[in-house]
Amino acid sequence: MKVLLVNGSPHKNGCTYTALCEVAKGLESEGVEHEILHLDNDTPGCNACRFCKKKGKCSIDDVVNDALERLDEFDGFVFGSPVYYAGPAGQLTSFMDRLFFASAGRMAYKPAAAVVSCRRGGSTASLDRLNKYFTISNMPVVPSQYWNQVHGNTPEEVVKDLEGMQIMRTLGRNMGWMLKCIEAGKKAGVSVPVPEEHAWTNFIRSD
């Protein structure tokens, strides 16, 4: 079992990375492998060209297509972001917009979580935004003992947020537990639900 941890901060070894490393410790204690993907700071946004709907990959050939190609290697996902003006970093949402749109449900039933790092405020608004990617994609959201946030302006400050560090480790362990439950369910013959045909209601009526 392997989990992809995405670092959406421009700081490769900053506060968000520090939080993700603590999640990794929790995963390791459950015997789950992980890989950290650090996004380049110039991840462009979605063109809304819908190329992906025909080709199954993004028209912008970058880290998103690399991730799409490797998606099946991962059983779970954690997306980490610094808080910018009470929201997640633009480069992470650019990455996630394109990844989720192009993946067309390939991440369904894989557990996911978001973690955020902030100096002081805006963490829960950021988490709310990030969690919406999962709950529209049939992805079980992994819980922790509190909302997944760390506080600090430097990695040195973040490690002093003892509760934040613990929340991250708990999240990693809970992700490991959830992955094992899913694996055990599969072995016992529990399959994912058969979806209904999708009903699209766009709130427009011609009559």
Residues near ligand FMN, by CB under 6 A = 9, 11, 14-16, 82-86, 117-122, 153
Q: How far is the CB of 90 from ligand FMN (least distance, A)?
A: 9
Q: Of 75 and 161, which has the nearer Cβ to ligand FMN?
A: 161
Q: How far is the CB of 179 from ligand FMN (least distance, A)?
A: 26
Beta strands 76-84 and 112-118 are parallel
Q: Of 86 and 190, which has the nearer Cβ to ligand FMN?
A: 86
Token pair, residue 140, equals: 């079980």
Q: How far is the CB of 130 from ligand FMN (least distance, A)?
A: 14
Q: Of 83 and 102, which has the nearer Cβ to ligand FMN?
A: 83
Q: How far is the CB of 101 from ligand FMN (least distance, A)?
A: 25
Q: How far is the CB of 83 from ligand FMN (least distance, A)?
A: 4
Q: Of 14 and 76, which has the nearer Cβ to ligand FMN?
A: 14
- CA 1, CA 179: separation in Å to the nearest integer? 8
Q: How far is the CB of 85 from ligand FMN (least distance, A)?
A: 5
Residue 123 burial (10 A CB sphere; 0-12, 13-18, 19+) = buried
Q: Of 14 and 176, which has the nearer Cβ to ligand FMN?
A: 14
Which residue number places its CB atom closest to ligand FMN?
14
Q: Of 82 and 111, which has the nearer Cβ to ligand FMN?
A: 82
| Amino acid at site 165 | M
